[in-house]
A and B are shown apart, each in its own frame.
Chain A
Amino acid sequence: MNFVIGYGMILLFFIVVIYVMERNHRATDNFEEFSVAGRSFGSWFQTMAFLNTWLPGTIFIAFAGLAASAGVIGYYVISYSLLAVLFMYYLADRVFDWGKRHNLKTQSDFVGMRYNSDAVRVTAAIIGVVSMFPWIVLGLQSLGLVFSYLSFGLVSPEQAVFVSIAVLAIRQYWTVRLGMRGIVISDMVQGIIAYGVGGLLSIGFIVMLLRSDHGFDKLSESFATLPSFGSDLGPLYYFSIVLTGALGSWCWPDIFVRLFTAKSAQTVRNSAFKAAPLMFLFLALMLTAAMLASSMPEVAAAPDNVWFLLASHGGPVILSIAGICVLAATMGNINALTQATGVHAAQDIFHVKGGTDRQITRTARIIVGITTILAIIGAIMTVNTTAGLLTLALAAYQGIVQLAPSLYLGLLWKRPTAPAAVLGMIVGFVVAVVLQFLYPVSIPALGGLTSGVVGLICNTAILVGVTMLTPAKSIETQRVSALFA
C-alpha cells in the first residue's frame, strides 16, 4: 500500500507538470523561441525559473546533510545564493540590453559578442558544457534516493537509480520538444512544490523537533563555529567557498540564460526582488530543520538522508510529499542543464560560424538527446561511486567560476581584450582543476584558499596583464565604446 502511495504521487506529479506544459505549448522551429522562449516571461515566472535552476534536489540531500553533520557552515549556501540574487540586480540592465540589442541567446554568445571573438565564445562554451555534465549525472543519482525511499523498501538504492533514469528519459521528451518555454512553465509548478511545500514541511519538522527534545541546546558547540585561524581548513576557507559560489553563480550557462528569457531588464530586477526573500525563507527553514535533526541518532549516522529520515516520522504520505519536493527540484535543474548544454553546443560550438534557425534548433534537440543518453550511461557506470562523482562535480564548480573574470570585467571595464580573456580562462581552468585534484577541499599553505580561488587569481592577473601589455586596436576600442554607450 505504501508503495502505491509513494509511486502514485510521483505519477500524479508528472501528470500535472506535463499537463501544464502541454497547455502552454507553442509549436515552432524558431531558435529564439527554443533557446530563450522569445524573451517573453514576467517576473514571477523568472523568479521560479531562477530558483528551480539554482536550488537543485541535492539542496535537500548534500546541503541539508552538511548542516546536519557540521552545523552553521552548512548555511553558507544562504550567503552565496543571496549574493547571486544581489548580482542579478546589478547585471540586469546591461546584460538584458546587450542581449536584446544583439539577439544573444547564450552566455557564450554574450562573451563572444563582448570580445568580438569566436575563440572566446567557443572557449566559454566548452568550459560551460564540460562543467555542467557531472551535475547532470549527479542529478540522475539524486533521483535514485527519491525512488528508493518512496518505494518503502521494495526498490533497492541501486535499482532505484535505473528507475529514475527510465523516468527521466521519458520526461526529457518534453524538454527536447518544448525547449525553454516548456522548462520555464514547468519550473513554476516544480518551484511551488519544491520550495513552497518544502518550506511548509520544514516548519512542521522544526516544530516536531522542538517538541520532541531536539532543540538548539542539544547541538554541539562545534556546530556554531567556522574554520578560523589554527583550523585544519584555514581561515580563508569560508571566504573562498562563498566567493566561488557567488561569483560562479552567473557563470553557469543555465543560470545566465535566465537573464535572456525575461520580458525586460525591469522584469529581471523584479525577479531579484522576489527571489531574495523566498530563497532566504526556504533555505533558513530547511537548513534549520536539518541542523536540529542532528541530535537524532539515525540522522547522525546518515546525515545526507536527513530530509527523508525527518519525513518518515510523518508516515507514508508526508514521506511521499517530501520525496516529491526533491524530485521537483531535481527535475528543474536537470532540464535546465541539458537544455543549456544543447543550446550552447549547437549554437556556440557546432554552428559557431552560423546556420539557419531550423538547423541550430535541430542540432540543439539532438544534443539534448545525446547528452541525456551519455548522462544515463554515466549514471549507470557510477551507480556505486557517488562520492567520486561528487568530487568531480565540485571540481567542475571550481572550473566554471573561471569564466567570472572575462564575464564581469568585460561588463565593467572597456579595455579587456579577446586574447587576454581566452588565455585567462584557459590558465585559470587548468590551474583550478589540477589544484582541485591535489587539494580537494582547501590549500592549507595558502590559508585555506580553494583551488577555484587560486585559479581566479591567476586568471584575473593574466586577463589584466595581457590587456595592459597588448591593448586593443583602435577599431575594436571604438566598437566597445559604442557598446558601453
Chain B
Amino acid sequence: MRDRSAVERWILIINLIIMLFPPIHLFFAGGSMTMALAYVFGSGLLLVSSMVLLRSIGDNRGEE
C-alpha cells in the first residue's frame, strides 16, 4: 500500500470506527427513527466527504 500521510491514515481509522460500532457507541437510536437515519445517512455522507477530501490532497488530481 502506498506511503500514506497521517491524514489518509486517520480518515481510514475514523470511518472504520464509525461504520463498525454504531450499537456500542450510540446504543443505537433507542427506537428513534430520526436518530437512526441521522446515523445511517450521516456516516455515509461522512465517508463520501472523506473521498472528496482524499481527492483534494496529494497527487489525486493527476492524469489517468
A residues lining the B interface (CB < 8 Å):
42-43, 71-72, 75, 78-80, 82-83, 85-86, 89-94, 216, 219, 221-228, 235, 238-239, 242-243, 246, 263-264, 266-267, 269-270, 272-273, 276-277, 280, 284, 411-412
Contacts and interface: CB of A to CB of B under 8 A. Distances in A.
B55 A273 contact: yes
A243 B20 contact: yes
A372 B19 CA distance: 37
B64 A270 contact: yes
Contact of A219 (B16, B21, B33, B44): B33
A25 to B, nearest CB: 24
A266 B63 CA distance: 7
A93 to B, nearest CB: 4
Contacts of B51: 85-86, 89, 272-273, 276-277
A373 B19 CA distance: 40
Given A221-B31, A273-B51, A263 B64 contact: yes
Contact of B1 (A80, A277, A411): A411
Given A226-B22, A266-B62, A269-B60, A86 B36 contact: no
Interface string B23-51: 11001111111011100110111011011
Given A42-B64, A43-B64, A90-B4, A224 B19 contact: no
Contacts of A264: 64
A82 B1 contact: no
Contact of A238 (B4, B23, B63, B64): B23
17 contacts: A83-B15, A83-B47, A85-B47, A91-B1, A224-B30, A224-B31, A224-B37, A226-B28, A228-B23, A238-B23, A239-B24, A266-B62, A272-B51, A273-B54, A276-B51, A280-B44, A284-B40
A235 B24 contact: yes
A82 B16 contact: no
B19 A83 contact: yes
Binding site secondary structure of chain A: helix
A284 B41 CA distance: 8
A280 B29 contact: no
Contact of A225 (B28, B40, B47, B54): B28
A235 B63 CA distance: 45
A82 B47 contact: yes
Enumerate the 3 nearest inter-chain pairs by beta-carbon distance, A residue then B residue, closest first: A221-B31, A224-B36, A93-B2
A269 B37 CA distance: 29
A148 B3 CA distance: 52
Contact of B15 (A86, A93, A284): A86
Interface residues of B, number: 40
Contacts of A411: 1
Given A224-B29, A266-B62, A272-B51, A93 B12 contact: no
Contacts of A242: 19-20
A225 B31 contact: yes
A246 B19 contact: yes
Given A272-B51, A280-B44, A412-B1, A225 B30 contact: yes
Contacts of A79: 19-20, 43-44
Nearest to B39: A72
Nearest to B60: A269
B29 A225 contact: yes
B2 to A, nearest CB: 4
Contacts of A43: 64
B1 to A, nearest CB: 5
B44 A284 contact: yes
Contacts of A85: 47, 51
Contacts of A222: 31
A270 B60 CA distance: 8
A90 B23 CA distance: 27
Given A263-B64, A273-B51, A280-B45, A227 B40 contact: no
Given A43-B64, A280-B48, A412-B1, A89 B30 contact: no
A399 to B, nearest CB: 21
B21 A277 contact: no
A228 B28 contact: yes
Contact of B37 (A72, A82, A94): A72
Given A83-B16, A280-B45, 10 more contacts: A72-B40, A80-B19, A85-B47, A90-B4, A94-B2, A224-B33, A239-B21, A242-B19, A269-B60, A273-B52
Contacts of B54: 89, 273
A210 to B, nearest CB: 14
A86 B23 contact: no
Contacts of A263: 64
A228 B24 CA distance: 7
Nearest to A92: B2
Contacts of B48: 82, 276-277, 280
Contacts of B29: 72, 224-226
A436 B51 CA distance: 35
A246 B16 CA distance: 10
